[in-house]
């Protein structure tokens, strides 16, 4: 058992960049120096004069319900004393949300000016640098942006607030998350850019330059040529697209020429990203659940399109032809249009960036299906972070619409945000077919995630899609003890008496299985953090090495 843990750690570490390892060692060995630098008093800074005050859509839900009363992740809490900001009876994620100060830019925030002022001053009074959750780099980054946006909407800003923004920017600058990289480092770069664009003087210019150096590297690396964000989570994709919209907005309102020079490139990335997001959203308007994904964390796609449109980023509506396929080769998804308000989204992707798959699930060759505007087959979503068994279960293969072999995950997800050995998908075979069954699209792919097991099994999957049916053929080559293909049903989908799935709109879908034994089991769907909704799952156990599951509708 000890050897297996060490082996898993080794398979995780070999993918890291040297930069991550060096900064991990630096932050561990020089933690006292980092804390001293973070707590040192920066030079006095003034507020930079902007041609226009900050203005942007306020879309996030209100989280400060009354003075000092907050709700995050479906859980309420109250700030009575300074220790409550780091309460031991709260989850790390709940405390992080508390320190973001998102309420400053939530719906109706400008009508609650007194609550905003109280919240800002209370945070400053209760959280001296550099101890506590609020001084860790990620909550620092999100809070800095919230503070700058909020202060830049005020007619006058207290000197204490400006000094606190400078102190927080300094603390962030000495602990950039280069040991993590990916969306965390992007958030650091955005925050330093906002702070530098808001504060005057040499310090402000240094933070601005530092933030832009990060963004110059990360925008080109993190956003792929097909428009997708490289962590392959539609939720994080939406979050970072909003970040880019904020940066374009900041360029126009602050008048800072360094931002204006980059604005055209950021707009192009936004336009490609919006097209990708439209493909990766269901007909109900919300995103598909691949990797870490849930509703209510990132802005809704419709709000994103509206924000981008207000900044002059053209939003071209997509009208794919019935029975058409769009392959997103860089991010690794195939989207099949099956007719009006019907589509299938297929995952033929890597787990994510090799050096940072922290938000990856073991979901290779999974898919989701919507018919008549209703989600029918769904991956299980994300309701929690951390390292507990439920987090592990939600990341596992069995929580997704794909094949599990010998009770193992296709990629070795572990410790909440780690992946050891990873499934590698093979080439994608995408063809249009015309035969006795009529016109259809054929998509085939395989992955080697199970080759580490005794018998070296390999999972091959073929989707055959037509306007009125979907046939999924799974083949497992090599030796294996058992294999199970799972199809998780949306909670609104009911099971009929004769192999039927009954949709809320009255439509029915017939299903059949060849080469396997089918049964229906209880499961759960997790559309939001802190939410678990009962649903049903169709499990198909292989009786040989190939099984076909077919869904037919009128």
DSSP class per residue in 462-527: EEEEETTEEEEEEEEES--S-EEEEEEBPTTPEE-SSSEEE-TTS-EEEEEEESEEEEEEEEEEBS
Q: Supply the CATH number for residue 427's domain.
A: 2.70.98.70
- For residues 467 and 517, the model is more confident at 517
- What pLDDT digit, counting tens, does each position of 373-421 carry? 999 999 999 999 999 999 999 999 999 999 999 999 999 999 999 999 9
In a domain, 417, yes or no: yes
- How far apart (Å, rounded) are the C-alpha atoms in residues 116 and 109? 7
In a domain, 243, yes or no: no
Average pLDDT, integer, range 342-352 = 97
Q: How many domains does the chain have?
A: 1
In a domain, 342, yes or no: yes
Q: Which two tokens stand for residue 77?
A: 């809490």
In a domain, 534, yes or no: yes
Whole-model pTM: value is 0.97
In a domain, 40, yes or no: no
- What pLDDT digit, counting tens, does each position of 270-289 carry? 999 999 999 999 999 999 99
In a domain, 378, yes or no: yes
The pLDDT-based confidence of 498 (bands split at 50, 70, 90) is confident
In a domain, 525, yes or no: yes
Instruction: Determine the structural domain holding residue 502 and report its residue range.
Output: 324-552
In a domain, 506, yes or no: yes
């Amino acid at each position: 058992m000890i050897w297996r843990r060490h082996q898993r750690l080794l398979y995780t570490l070999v993918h890291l960049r040297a930069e991550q390892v060096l900064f991990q060692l630096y932050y561990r060995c020089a933690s006292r120096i980092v804390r001293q630098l973070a707590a040192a008093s920066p030079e006095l800074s003034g507020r930079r004069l902007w041609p226009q005050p900050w203005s942007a859509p306020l879309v996030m839900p209100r989280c400060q319900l009354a003075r000092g009363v907050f709700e995050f992740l479906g859980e309420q809490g109250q700030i009575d004393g300074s220790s409550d900001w780091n309460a031991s009876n709260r989850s790390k994620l709940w405390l992080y949300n508390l320190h973001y100060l998102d309420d400053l830019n939530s719906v109706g925030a400008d009508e609650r000016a007194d609550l905003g002022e109280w919240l800002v001053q209370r945070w400053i009074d209760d959280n001296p640098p550099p101890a506590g959750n609020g001084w860790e780099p990620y909550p620092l980054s999100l809070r800095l942006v919230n503070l700058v946006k909020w202060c830049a909407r005020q007619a006058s800003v207290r000197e204490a607030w400006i000094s606190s923004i400078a102190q927080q920017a300094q603390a962030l600058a000495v602990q950039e998350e280069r040991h993590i990289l990916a969306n965390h480092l992007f958030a650091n770069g955005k925050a330093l850019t906002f702070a530098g664009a808001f504060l005057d003087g040499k310090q402000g210019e240094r933070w601005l330059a530092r933030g832009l150096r990060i963004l110059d590297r990360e925008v080109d690396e993190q956003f792929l040529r097909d428009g997708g964000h490289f962590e392959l989570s539609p939720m994080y994709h939406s979050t970072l697209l909003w970040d880019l919209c904020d940066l374009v907005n900041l360029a126009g309102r602050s008048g800072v020429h360094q931002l204006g020079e980059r604005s055209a490139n950021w707009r192009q990335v936004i336009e490609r990203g919006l097209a990708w997001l439209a493909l990766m959203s269901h007909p109900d308007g919300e995103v598909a659940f691949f990797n870490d994904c849930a509703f209510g964390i990132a802005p809704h796609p419709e709000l994103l399109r509206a924000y981008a449109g207000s900044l002059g980023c053209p939003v071209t509506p997509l009208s794919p032809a019935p029975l058409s396929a769009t392959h997103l080769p860089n991010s690794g998804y195939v989207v099949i249009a099956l007719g009006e308000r019907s589509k299938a989204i297929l995952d033929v992707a890597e787990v994510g960036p090799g050096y940072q798959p922290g938000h990856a699930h073991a979901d290779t060759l999974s898919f989701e299906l919507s018919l008549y505007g209703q989600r029918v087959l769904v991956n299980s979503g994300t309701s929690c972070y951390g390292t507990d068994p439920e987090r592990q279960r939600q990341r596992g293969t069995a929580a997704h619409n794909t094949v599990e072999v010998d009770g193992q995950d296709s990629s070795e997800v572990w410790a909440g945000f780690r992946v050891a050995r990873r499934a590698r998908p093979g080439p994608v075979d995408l063809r249009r077919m015309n035969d006795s069954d009529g016109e259809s699209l054929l998509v085939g792919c395989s992955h080697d995630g199970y080759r580490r097991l005794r018998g070296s099994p390999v999972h091959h999957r073929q989707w055959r899609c037509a306007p009125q049916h979907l046939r999924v053929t799974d083949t497992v080559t090599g030796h294996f003890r058992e294999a199970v293909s799972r199809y998780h049903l949306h909670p609104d989908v009911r099971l009929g008496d004769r192999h039927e799935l009954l949709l809320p709109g009255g439509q029915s879908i017939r299903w059949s299985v060849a080469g396997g034994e089918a049964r229906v089991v209880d499961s759960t769907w997790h559309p939001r953090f802190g939410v678990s909704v009962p649903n049903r799952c169709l499990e198909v156990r292989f009786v040989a090495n190939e099984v076909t599951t077919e869904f037919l509708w009128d």
